[in-house]
Each structure stands twice: as C-alpha cells, then as structure tokens.
Amino acid sequence: DTSIVTKEKTSCKNGIQVMDRKNCSFESRITTTNHPLTRKLFEIMANKKTNLCVAADVTTTEELVSLADKVGPHICLLKTHIDILTNFSQDTIDKLRDLAAKHNFLLFEDRKFGDIGSTVANQYSGGAYKIVEWADLVTVHGLPGDGVIKGLVSAINGRTRGCVLVSQMSSSGALTSEEYVENCSKMAENHTYFVVGFVSQSSKSGDPRFILFTPGVRLGKTGDGLGQQYVTPRSAILERGADIIIVGRGITQASDPVAAAKEYREEAFDAYQERIKHSTH
C-alpha cells in the first residue's frame, strides 16, 4: 500500500521510496488511494481550487443553512456540530444536502465519537440525528482503540462514508502525546477502507493517502479564553503541513462572512500552491 514509487520528492518508508504528501498536488494524490471519499475530496479541492473547510458553529437551522449557502462556493467541506442546533429537524438535513450538491462540498459532522464500538454504532445510525444517513465524514477519537472504527463501519450499511481520526487537538493542555499521535497513525494504516485522514495540528507523515485537517486556524487572534489556541492559514499549511484548514469563528463571527471565507480560501490555496510549486506531480 505504501509502495508508490516516484522519481522525485520522495521520502523513505519501510525501505521503499514513497511520495511525500506535502510536495504533491491534490490531483496527483487521487490515484494513491482507493477510498472513494478521499478521492472525491481531492477532486473537489483540485477542481474548485479550495482547501477551506468552514466550521459552522451556529445554533439555529436558519443560520446554518444561510451560512452554508453563502460560503458554499468557497469551501470543499462544511463541518457541523449538528447537536448544538436548537431547532434541528429532517428539514435541516434536506437543506444541507441540497446545498452540498448545489455548491459541490461534502458534509463533515464533527461528532468526535469516543466510545466503545457497540455504542458508537448506535450513536452514528440512531437517535435524533441519524448522522450516518447524511454526513459524508465524521470525526473520531482513537482513544477507545480501533473498536470505535469497527463499530462505525458496522453501521454504514452500504453507504459511502469515511472518518477522520482526531490525532492531535489544538486546545491548551491537550493529552494527545507523541505516542498517542503515533498510535492513531497506526490505527489509520490498519483501517484505510474507512479512515480518510487526521485532524491534527501538525504531521510528519508524508503518506499521500491521508488528508491532514488542521483546526484552530484564524487570522489575527491567538486564543479564546476557553483553551483554544490559533494559528494562521499560511503557518498551518507551510509550517505544519495541513492539507485542509478548518476555520470557524474567523468566518462565522466576521462582519462579512463571505468576504472572510474568500480571504481564508485564497490565503490557504496560495499557501498550498507555494508548498507544491517545485513538485512535478
């Protein structure tokens, strides 16, 4: 699986020359994976020229739908916390799915599943939110061991779904040690049929199959008083190796969210292009 041989920009893994993710274009990474959602996400990013994910941390269906429609043209992914909406209904989901189709982005529910397999299977497919029915991607903590992944997979029922492992957190005092990050990497490598990538503040991994999502991105702020710590889009992409930046309050709380989304999108895609500019892939 890791024996993707290239002539240039290679790094070494298990003695085999492999492409380094950070030097590769999103287009060139499509063929490195069989995961249909990873492929689809690379296609969206390459065609739409955006590696921006908006974290839609709003608390009503109206705000969520309005935000998704406004920033839709500028994003590859809409990250939701569906469980903070005061007026969630099937209508919320119908509208989100329509907007995802209209603007060509994927839906990413940031549930941070963190329980044993039998429980997360029920949480994923059941309850008020029926997340498996509408969210292309979900976030998962590797903390419970890989039963959490097997549990989610047991609930998919033929749908095209994937998860993103939260291997490192951006908050102050997070307990995601180096060993923890390393164990999440191993877990991902053992479950490539479901794991699309990592939510992390940084990654040394050059594996082109996995997408690195970096939250805690904001221009001109350093923290929020409840432990959140911010980095800029350029720093996230050029210094920390992010493929996709996740921006929440920098866009949702901007006086003009559309203008803010454009600004983050341009800054992030420029940084990505700068990162790969010497690459031949």
Binding footprint of its own copies on the chain (CB under 8 A): 57, 59, 81-86, 88, 110, 112, 114-119, 121-123, 126-129, 141-148, 150-151, 154, 169-177, 179-180, 183-184, 224, 226-228
Q: Which is nearer to its own copies, 98 or 182 (CB)?
A: 182
Task: Give the nearer residue to its own copies in terms of CB position, either 104 or 125.
Answer: 125
Q: Which of 9, 13, 112, 150 is catalytic?
A: 112
Q: Is 112 a catalytic residue?
A: yes
Nearer to its own copies, 153 or 238 (CB): 153
Q: What DSSP letter does each residue of 128-191 carry, written as one string? A: TT-GGGT-SEEEEESTT-THHHHHHHTTTTT---EEEEE-S--STT----HHHHHHHHHHHHHT
267 to 25, 49, 199, 203, 255: CA distances (angstroms)? 17, 12, 20, 20, 19
CA pair distance 146, 242, nearest whole angstrom: 24
Half-sphere exposure of 93 (CA within 13 A, CB side): 15
C-alpha distance from residue 54 to each of 24, 121, 135, 247, 264 (Å): 23, 26, 15, 5, 10
**Which of 81, 281 has the CB closer to its own copies?**
81
The verdict on whether 115 is a catalytic residue reads: yes
The residue annotated as part of the active site, out of 49, 69, 115, 130, is: 115
Catalytic center residues: 112, 115
